[in-house]
Amino acid sequence: MNLIRNFSQIFFFSNVGILETAISSQRCTALSVLERTQSLHGPSPVTTFGPKACMLQNPHAVMHIQDPASQRLTWNKPPKSVLVIKKIRDASLLQPFKELCMFLTEVKNMIVYVEKKVLEDPAISGDENFGAITKKFCTFREDLDDISNCVDFIICLGGDGTLLYASSLFQATNLFFLCHLKESVPPVMAFHLGSLGFLTPFKFDSYQSQVNQIIEGNAAIVLRSRLKVRVLKENWEKKARVDEKGILTNGDSESSRKSMYYQVLNEVVLDRGPSSYLSNVDLFLDGHLITTVQADGVIVSTPTGSTAYAVAAGASMIHPNVPAIMITPICPHSLSFRPIVVPAGVELKIMLSRDARNTAWVSFDGRKRQEICHGDSITITTSCFPVPSICFRDPVNDWFESLAQCLHWNVRKKQNYLSSEDEEF
């Protein structure tokens, strides 16, 4: 087991070296990106988060099996910058947002990054008292500005969707820009100011002491694994040509391939879209066809995503520290098609079956929805870049607390006590 684990680590770090060299010389190739560890345990996660944070190493870990409660955050250098993500169009978050930003800038003297569209809210832009604070902010625009090397940690104000959005900001969508810093997520501190709050353990009442604790580096973290997804689309185009008479006509169809990359925290959902027919897709595992899914769709989720769409579709709930990928059918046309859990180190591939009657649609954490046609493929592996989520207590207690408070897990009226008189009957 040690030999396998050591080999996977050597293989992973050699890949990182190949990738960095290719990027620096502007000669990235698909081969260097698609190389991956063959260990069933999945790739060893990168334990540096953003420019300054990392996970405190535990010298007592045996065979790389670490007690989740012992995973602690530490800083290579004191953090100086923070990204504050606020749920858009939620008036109830305006006051907490202003209080937090004033505390970070005036008291902690930190550089605060805020989305430009947040400051465009009339309730913020029209506040003259808060205007002096906003002038100190650094702003950015989603999909346009790269802040991956600027932010030391993240604070989310909202619900679970706000944390998913924060994860989506740190990814490389094309081959050339696949690099370590762009996909590495800084530590995330999520305040419960939304609806469900399964992934947001902190309450805003005592935010000052909690933020101080994070800045000091005294906090437990849970590494929420992400899925690295590659969508390969086959594009067929009619090429114009001039015939013998000099007339412009449509020529033969020529194919071209386009690859897109995504980092997914919850799940990849492939469904039938607006079609009335069943989805009919082939599911491959490490290059072997394991089954054909005939259903409304299929969900490929992380352990974090197992408590989201997957659990509503009948799947089990998996703790975030368990290295696994869950495959859950959506309303399968088979009584025996149950959700399954596969090792984190495998490579999944999904394609439309040859005899599929219609196309399919895919989304990534509920975003970037697009159509999948014949010839297209979706490749899914476990990413090396997890989301380091800061815990209120520790990964185990926080998870079971969320199960009880948010999902009301195993809540029922207790059975009455049986007295000695009742035992006689």
Residues catalogued as catalytic:
160
Residue 247 makes CB contacts below 8 A (sequence gap 6+) with none
What the block records as the tokens of 230 is: 């590659």
Question: What does 39-107 look like in DSSP terms, one character per residue?
Answer: -TT-PPPP-EETTTEEEEP-TT-BTTB--GGG-EEEESS---EEEEEE-TT-GGGHHHHHHHHHIIIII
All residues at 6 or more sequence positions from 396 whose CB lies less than 8 Å from its CB, including other chains? 68, 69, 319
Residue with tokens 């490579």: 347
CB 326 within 8 A of CB 340: yes
Residue 312: enclosing H or E segment and its boundaries? helix 309-312
Contact 106, 163 (CB under 8 A): no
Which residues are registered as beta bridge partners of 293? 281
136: tokens are 């100190």
Spatial distance between the Cα atoms of 270 and 279, rounded to a whole number of angstroms: 9
Q: Which of 301, 88, 350, 305 is nearest to 194 (CA)?
A: 88
- In the numeric block, the tokens 């923070």 are attached to 82
Phi-psi region of 297 (alpha: psi -120 to 50; beta: other; left: phi over 0): left
Q: Is 79:103 a contact under the CB 8 Å cutoff? A: no
